[in-house]
Amino acid sequence: MKRILVTGSVGQIGSELTLELRKRYGNDNVVAGVNRTQPTGLLKDSGPWELANCTDFEQLKSVVKKYEIDTIYHLAAILSGVAEAKPDLAWNVNINGLYNVLEIAREFNCKVFIPSSIGAFGPSTPPDKTPQDTIQRPTTMYGVTKVSGELICDYYYKRFGVDTRGVRYPGIISNDTLPGGGTTDYAVEIYYEAIRNKKFTCNLKAGTFMDMMYMPDAINAAIQLMEADSDKLIHRNAFNVTAMSFDPEIIAASIKKVIPEFTMDYNVDEVKQGIADSWPNSLDDSTAKEEWGWNPEYDLEAMTKDMLSVLEKKINV
Ligand code: AKB
């Protein structure tokens, strides 16, 4: 039987992933792990929650012990924008926190899902159709922690047999919990502003292409990879996954098709622009397709339609 802990369960991906895992495996079998912010609403009411700060080894271990956890989805992480502003915090959470999770997984024989990111690539990586196995020399603190995370997860698998698995997430677009401090956040904010004000000021330049994905696909990717037959996995940490690649002009054009009066201008954030410029334009995710059947459902048009109709109801209620 699965007994699951989700760290970072109040975050953008964690909050929706926890609810989906509860649907699939039973409410009582999925513990929402939080750092400080208590869960609210359905997340709080539908199942157990516990303080499980990944940088606090004893606290995390006591939760794993108490609930006899056998699977950890380790979503707690500092995103790229915040990591550049607070590199010490990023190191502590993304590296020391992950190390604690892996050590506890080793002791309690847990399977672990760890998200990596397109941020694990850098300016010397081939930027178009970036292959699964290629140069990874990121120039951001976030990227440094993500590459190190991929390596240490592979190490724990090979050296200690800990079943670690991960994907390199692109920007994730969702209509529930907002992202916190990423470089791809503009692609979420643009939808909110389109509904609220019919205009948006973009903090990245036109022509800045990055991979993106709608939340339902991001959640499926995590669960599908964790359910995949271990014998079929040649890679583990971490698989390229993507659903679409666009720049600000392209996402704005897709919104304009639904809201013709929508307009966009630019006020570039140099730090975020520098991060985005160091990341790939588009990933090749054929290895994920081959090894565990990855197949995203939403393209840009389908996502825009759904985002705008959900936000319309949410914001205008
Ligand atoms: C970020 O922008 O930091 C994240 C990511 C792509 O990992 N959304």
Residue 4: phi, psi to the nearest 5?
-110, 140
What pLDDT, in 10s, does the model give residues 107-125?
Answer: 999 999 999 999 999 999 9
Claim to verify: residue 96 and residue 222 sit in the same structural domain: yes
How much distance in Å is there from the Cα of 276 to the middle of ligand 1? 9
Q: Which residues are 116's β-sheet partners?
A: 168
Per-residue pLDDT of the chain (317 residues; tens, 9 = 90+): 689 999 999 999 999 999 999 999 999 999 999 998 889 999 999 999 999 999 999 999 999 999 999 999 999 999 999 999 999 999 999 999 999 999 999 999 999 999 999 999 999 999 999 999 999 999 999 999 999 999 999 999 999 999 999 999 999 999 998 988 999 999 999 999 999 999 999 999 999 999 999 999 999 999 999 999 999 999 999 999 999 999 999 999 999 999 999 999 999 999 999 999 999 999 999 999 999 999 999 999 999 999 999 999 998 76
The burial of 48, by beta-carbon neighbours within 10 Å (0-12 exposed, 13-18 middle, 19 or more buried), is given as: middle
Claim to verify: residue 62 and residue 208 sit in the same structural domain: no
Q: Which atom of ligand 1 is nearest to the CA of 210?
A: 6
Residue 220 lies in a domain: yes
Q: Round to whole Å and give the CA distance between 15 and 19.
A: 7
Residue 281: phi, psi to the nearest 5?
-85, -35
Claim to verify: residue 160 and residue 255 sit in the same structural domain: no
Claim to verify: residue 116 and residue 191 sit in the same structural domain: no
**Which residue type is seen at 287?**
T
Structure confidence at residue 272 (pLDDT): 96
Could you tell me which of 46, 34, 33 has the C-alpha nearest to residue 4? 33
CATH assignment at residue 113: 3.40.50.720
- Report the residue among 75, 94, 118 best suited for mutation to probe ligand 1: largest number of ligand atoms under 8 A from its CB: 118
Tokens of 292: 């565990």
The burial of 36, by beta-carbon neighbours within 10 Å (0-12 exposed, 13-18 middle, 19 or more buried), is given as: exposed
Q: Which residues are 50's β-sheet partners?
A: 33
Could you tell me which of 286, 126, 288, 153 has the C-alpha nearest to residue 218? 288
Residue 293 lies in a domain: no
Claim to verify: residue 207 and residue 75 sit in the same structural domain: no
Tokens of 44: 């709080």
Claim to verify: residue 266 and residue 137 sit in the same structural domain: no
Q: Which atom of ligand 1 is nearest to the CA of 80?
A: 3
Domain that holds residue 15: 4-170+214-240
| Alpha helix ranges (H) inside the chain | 12-25, 41-45, 57-66, 80-85, 87-90, 98-108, 141-160, 186-196, 215-227, 248-258, 270-277, 286-292, 300-316
Claim to verify: residue 129 and residue 187 sit in the same structural domain: no
- Cβ atoms 315, 192 nearer than 8 A: yes
Ligand 1 atom 1: the closest Cα is on which residue?
182
Ligand 1 atom 8: the closest Cα is on which residue?
171
How much distance in Å is there from the Cα of 66 to the middle of ligand 1? 32
Claim to verify: residue 182 and residue 75 sit in the same structural domain: no
Claim to verify: residue 94 and residue 190 sit in the same structural domain: no
CATH assignment at residue 311: 3.90.25
Structure confidence at residue 317 (pLDDT): 63
Residue 288 lies in a domain: no
- Report the residue among 93, 169, 209, 277 best suited for mutation to probe ligand 1: largest number of ligand atoms under 8 A from its CB: 169
How much distance in Å is there from the Cα of 28 to the middle of ligand 1? 31
Residues with CB under 6 A from ligand 1: 79-80, 117-119, 142, 169-171, 182-184
- Cβ atoms 224, 165 nearer than 8 A: no
How much distance in Å is there from the Cα of 150 to the middle of ligand 1? 15
What is the pTM assigned to this prediction?
0.96
Q: Which atom of ligand 1 is nearest to the CA of 83?
A: 3
Q: CB atoms < 10 A from the CB of 189, how many?
A: 15
Tokens of 56: 């606090």
Residue 122 lies in a domain: yes
Q: Considering Cα of 202, then 206, then 210, then 215, what sign does the dihedral take?
A: positive
Claim to verify: residue 25 and residue 115 sit in the same structural domain: yes
How much distance in Å is there from the Cα of 171 to the middle of ligand 1? 5
Residue 292 lies in a domain: no
Residue 114 lies in a domain: yes
Q: Which atom of ligand 1 is nearest to the CA of 181?
A: 3
For residue 142, indicate whether it is catalytic: yes
Structure confidence at residue 180 (pLDDT): 85
Give the total number of structural domains in the chain.
2
Q: Which residues are 100's β-sheet partners?
A: none
Residue 74: phi, psi to the nearest 5?
-95, 90
Residue 289 lies in a domain: no
Claim to verify: residue 135 and residue 196 sit in the same structural domain: no
Ligand 1 atom 4: the closest Cα is on which residue?
182
Q: Round to whole Å and give the CA distance between 176 and 42.
A: 12
Claim to verify: residue 165 and residue 17 sit in the same structural domain: yes
Catalytic residue among 142, 156, 214, 298: 142
How much distance in Å is there from the Cα of 114 to the middle of ligand 1? 14
Residue 287 lies in a domain: no
